[in-house]
Amino acid sequence: MKSARAKTPRKPIVKKGSQTNLKDPVGVYCRVRPLGFPDQECCIEVINNTTVQLHTPEGYRLNRNGDYKETQYSFKQVFGTHTTQKELFDVVANPLVDDLIHGKNGLLFTYGVTGSGKTHTMTGSPGEGGLLPRCLDMIFNSIGSFQAKRYVFKSNDRNSMDIQCEVDALLERQKREAMPNPKTPSSKRQVDPEFADMITVQEFCKAEEVDEDSVYGVFVSYIEIYNNYIYDLLEEVPFDPIKPKWNSCSTPMRNTDFVPPQSKLLREDKNHNMYVAGCTEVEVKSTEEAFEVFWRGQKKRRIANTHLNRESSRSHSVFNIKLVQAPLDADGDNVLQEKEQITISQLSLVDLAGSERTNRTRAEGNRLREAGNINQSLMTLRTCMDVLRENQMYGTNKMVPYRDSKLTHLFKNYFDGEGKVRMIVCVNPKAEDYEENLQVMRFAEVTQEVEVARPVDKAICGLTPGRRYRNQPRGPIGNEPLVTDVVLQSFPPLPSCEILDINDEQTLPRLIEALEKRHHLRQMMIDEFNKQSNAFKALLQEFDNAVLSKENHMQGKLNEKEKMISGQKLEIERLEKKNKTLEYKIEILEKTTTIYEEDKRNLQQELETQNQKLQRQFSDKRRLEARLQGMVTETTMKWEKECFLFQPDQNAPPIRLRHRRSRSAGDRWVDHKPASNMQTETVMQPHVPHAITVSVANEKALAKCEKYMLTHQELASDGEIETKLIKGDIYKTRGGGQSVQFTDIETLKQESPNGSRKRRSSTVAPAQPDGAESEWTDVETRCSVAVEMKAGSQLGPGYQHHAQPKRKKP
């Protein structure tokens, strides 16, 4: 992962070109390139003028087990394979140029995979100029007659413009013209035939409502971003001046044998706009001059031959058109010498390098490194769009990683509201570019959801309009007669006033008659004028009265509205106070609720602790009851036995010794006695009727019985032999066999009567009242006791089974 970059500093003031309340989405357009061969497989279909559909090619369907998926993507407008450059320009670039002339910025860039027609769309080909020459042609058609003389505007290193008077500009022109090799192109040169056909635009295009009381200057610059470094393509460095040629695809073959210039740095001006420090800006006066400058830089741009494109752009190129505008002075003769009145707008035309996969381009070495940097910068652009969309849709404030790439860092101002942003997605419909086109469509889908603040209109300088034509006697057309001429032409012509004879008595009477007619006509015109003046005065008076009446009516309405507003303000204040009171009560209730919840949690914890304590006490009580029950049973049997012994019966038959029987004697058993067991001489021996005795457990015996008993012997800690009878139930398994589940264990233990050893018992026998030891402690009685408990029982020795003790002889 990349290390975190420093966050872009927050702007302290609202910039002049931004407007926070109105936003427009980024305009994304799609242009589909024609296929190279008619029978070539196509993966993109134009549905209508706003929608395209992607088809999965046959090869991808086979690789993905026949998964066939069609996806549709919508754009602001889709241009098919038969779209001309003019149609594309009229829809996409014409509004941006119009905004440029009216003082607003714009950004237009082409995006797509390598070989999709981005450079052709931007630059064009012979006989069919692209967007760039058409933008230049529209600019100069609109401001051609209003351009300032060369060097009246002069660029500086702070991304702004200085203004010079006519004398200083003239001196600098003479100085530049005296140089042996002037850097500035001249409009008097002949157009280079290499690009003459590209800038010849048949259609005349001009912006509407151009400010005629201003003068304009056009400056162009050309840079490229190569391996995330910025280079000035107009910088004067030695290179091999081999002229480009045209290949079979009508694309200029540019030269790459030149010494690479020094990389440039990005800086921020006083208005927090990003610019390339030390970049060459050339003032141009015509479309031919501007395109000549562009062509000079185009020869230096880095291109290379890859497997997908014979002339693949290896860098992002940015052609900037900067339009400088300054108003005329009050007389309309010279430029106003105030730097604050200068308006600078910029249109950036960006030709992005194509995204590519190295396994298809077969790039290696420098080409592989270039492809990695191209893909990384485009990935940063996608990430910025994703973060911008997320911040706008979900109200988050994540940092947009503009600084991760020179490309995004240079144009961050446009996405912050410094102008319109337009993108043309160029796609090649051939099936081999399906996956790349899919990624391009997804990026375009995200970009359309990003909104950019709408730029505001420029401020008016405040001088009187029409200053340029003020000193001319006629209007701008120059052929319209004045009003006085029309009035004089309405009078009858005067007769000849020449008197040739002293006896001439006709000339003067005719002249007097003509003058009287003129006087009469003049008097009629004066009367008509007075009459119309009075009528006009009456109309003005009526209009003034109507205006006054409307003003009074509006004033009354305004007073009513003000009263209503005052009442609403009072109501708002009351509601605000009530809202604050309720918020305070809610805060108190929240605090009280928090306290109660804390008490509830504490009480619940205490309750759980008490429940656990009660459970433990209940378990201890049950164990104690079980032990006491065992002791009661043992004591009861003891006293019953003693009472029976003290009542002898002479006629009673002798009691037959009985074998110890299992509790489940009714079932059939497998009596498993290993051959290693020793025969004990205990009085009580385990005896199970209907048992199959075996020394080794076998399947045949287990299949015939329901119970199983294993006789196990081991040496106890006191040196005596301890016999354990491990019992279990036999179950049939699904596989046809048998399994044994052990249920309980009976233990038979033989102890020595020597008094030095303590009698082991699970319970302590109660002492005799007279201190004498009863028959319960004799050897035969102790040997006849067998303890039985279930395997894994937690109840201890409370559950006991006592066999019938041996009866004494009388």
The CATH number of residue 699's host domain is 2.60.40.4330
For residue 705, what are the domain limits? 692-744
pLDDT at residue 320, as a whole number: 96
Mean pLDDT of 758-773: 42
Dist. CA 124–CA 120, nearest whole Å: 4
Assess if residue 465 is contained within a domain.
Answer: no
- Which residues fall within 8 angstroms of residue 331, CB to CB, at 6 or more apart? 467, 470, 471
Give the residue from 704, 722, 744 where a domain finishes: 744
Give the residue from 608, 635, 661 where a domain finishes: 608
With a cut of 50, say whether residue 258 has pLDDT above it: no
Q: How confident is the model at residue 653 (pLDDT cuts 50, 70, 90)?
A: low
pLDDT at residue 364, as a whole number: 57
**What whole-number percentage of the chain has pLDDT above 90?**
29
Q: What pLDDT digit, counting tens, does each position of 355-414 carry? A: 766 555 555 556 677 777 888 888 999 999 999 999 888 888 899 999 999 999 999 988
Q: How confident is the model at residue 731 (pLDDT cuts 50, 70, 90)?
A: confident
Asked if 579 and 432 sit in the same domain, the reply is no
Q: How confident is the model at residue 184 (pLDDT cuts 50, 70, 90)?
A: low
Query: Nearest to residue 144, comparing CAs of 303, 284, 262?
Result: 284
Structure tokens at 458: 């420029």
Structure tokens at 687: 């005896």
* Local structure of 163: helix, strand or coil: strand
Q: What pLDDT digit, counting tens, does each position of 584-631 carry? A: 999 999 999 999 999 999 999 999 999 999 999 999 999 999 989 988
Q: What pLDDT digit, counting tens, does each position of 470-505 carry? A: 655 444 444 455 455 556 666 667 776 677 677 777
Q: What pLDDT digit, counting tens, does each position of 279-297 carry? A: 999 999 999 999 999 988 8
Assess if residue 37 is contained within a domain.
Answer: yes
With a cut of 80, say whether residue 675 has pLDDT above it: yes
Structure tokens at 273: 């706009």
* Local structure of 787: helix, strand or coil: strand
Assess if residue 38 is contained within a domain.
Answer: yes
Structure tokens at 303: 């291109």
With a cut of 60, say whether residue 662 has pLDDT above it: no
**Which of 156-160, 171-175, 207-211, 490-494 shows the lowest mean pLDDT across its residues?**
490-494
Give the residue from 608, 625, 643 where a domain finishes: 608
Mean pLDDT of 314-341: 87
Three-state SS letters, 412-430: HHHHHHHCEEEEEEEECCE
With a cut of 80, say whether residue 432 has pLDDT above it: yes
Mean pLDDT of 246-262: 54
Assess if residue 687 is contained within a domain.
Answer: no
pLDDT at residue 521, as a whole number: 84
464 compared with 352, residue with greater pLDDT: 352
Mean pLDDT of 142-155: 89
With a cut of 50, say whether residue 752 has pLDDT above it: yes
Assess if residue 10 is contained within a domain.
Answer: no
Q: Which long-range contacts (CB under 8 A, 24 or more apart) does 717-720 make?
A: 718/751, 718/752, 718/757, 718/760, 720/749, 720/750, 720/751, 720/752
Mean pLDDT of 414-439: 88
Q: How confident is the model at residue 764 (pLDDT cuts 50, 70, 90)?
A: very low
Question: What Cα–Cα distance (Å) separates residue 467 from each residue in 140, 190, 636?
Answer: 22, 36, 133
pLDDT at residue 251, as a whole number: 52
Asked if 599 and 721 sit in the same domain, the reply is no
Asked if 433 and 537 sit in the same domain, the reply is no
Question: What Cα–Cα distance (Å) separates residue 408 from each residue in 9, 402, 512?
Answer: 15, 5, 88
483 compared with 515, residue with greater pLDDT: 515
Among the residues of 404-506, which ranges form H helices? 406-410, 412-413, 434-447, 483-489
Give the H/E segment covering residue 595: helix 507-645
**Class of residue 403 by CB neighbours under 10 A (exposed 0-12, middle 13-18, buried 19+):** middle
| Number of domains composing the chain | 3
Q: How confident is the model at residue 772 (pLDDT cuts 50, 70, 90)?
A: very low
Which residues belong to the annotated binding site for ATP?
A: 112-119
Q: What is the CATH number of the domain that holds 119?
A: 3.40.850.10
Q: What pLDDT digit, counting tens, does each position of 83-130 carry? A: 999 999 999 999 999 999 999 999 999 998 888 888 889 988 887 889
Structure tokens at 680: 């004990």
Asked if 44 and 130 sit in the same domain, the reply is yes
pLDDT at residue 598, as a whole number: 93
Q: How confident is the model at residue 175 (pLDDT cuts 50, 70, 90)?
A: confident
Mean pLDDT of 442-462: 81
Average pLDDT for the chain: 78
pLDDT at residue 763, as a whole number: 38
pLDDT at residue 135, as a whole number: 94
With a cut of 90, say whether residue 8 has pLDDT above it: no
Asked if 289 and 436 sit in the same domain, the reply is yes
Quick check: 418 and 18 in contact, CB under 8 A? Answer: yes
Asked if 206 and 271 sit in the same domain, the reply is yes
Assess if residue 650 is contained within a domain.
Answer: no
With a cut of 90, say whether residue 756 has pLDDT above it: no
Which residues belong to the annotated binding site?
A: 112-119
Asked if 411 and 548 sit in the same domain, the reply is no
* Local structure of 489: helix, strand or coil: helix
Structure tokens at 198: 């590209």
Asked if 317 and 211 sit in the same domain, the reply is yes
Give the H/E segment covering residue 215: strand 214-226
Asked if 405 and 541 sit in the same domain, the reply is no
Assess if residue 539 is contained within a domain.
Answer: yes
**Which of 32-41, 170-179, 316-325 shows the lowest mean pLDDT across its residues?**
170-179
Query: Nearest to residue 297, comparing CAs of 414, 185, 424?
Result: 185
DSSP per residue, 705-765: -SEEEEEEEEE-TTS-EEEEEEEEEEEE-TTS-EEEEEEEEEEEE-----TTSPPP-SSPP
The β-bridge partners of 691 are 669
Asked if 202 and 87 sit in the same domain, the reply is yes
pLDDT at residue 63, as a whole number: 52
Dist. CA 707–CA 515, nearest whole Å: 157
**What whole-number percentage of the chain has pLDDT above 70?**
73
Mean pLDDT of 27-51: 89
**Which of 357-366, 514-523, 656-665, 789-798 shows the lowest mean pLDDT across its residues?**
789-798
C-alpha distance across the termini of the chain, in Å: 101
763 compared with 162, residue with greater pLDDT: 162
Assess if residue 461 is contained within a domain.
Answer: no
Which amino acid does the sequence have at 556? G
Asked if 581 and 696 sit in the same domain, the reply is no
CA angle 116, 119, 120 (to 5 degrees): 80
Dist. CA 273–CA 419, nearest whole Å: 12
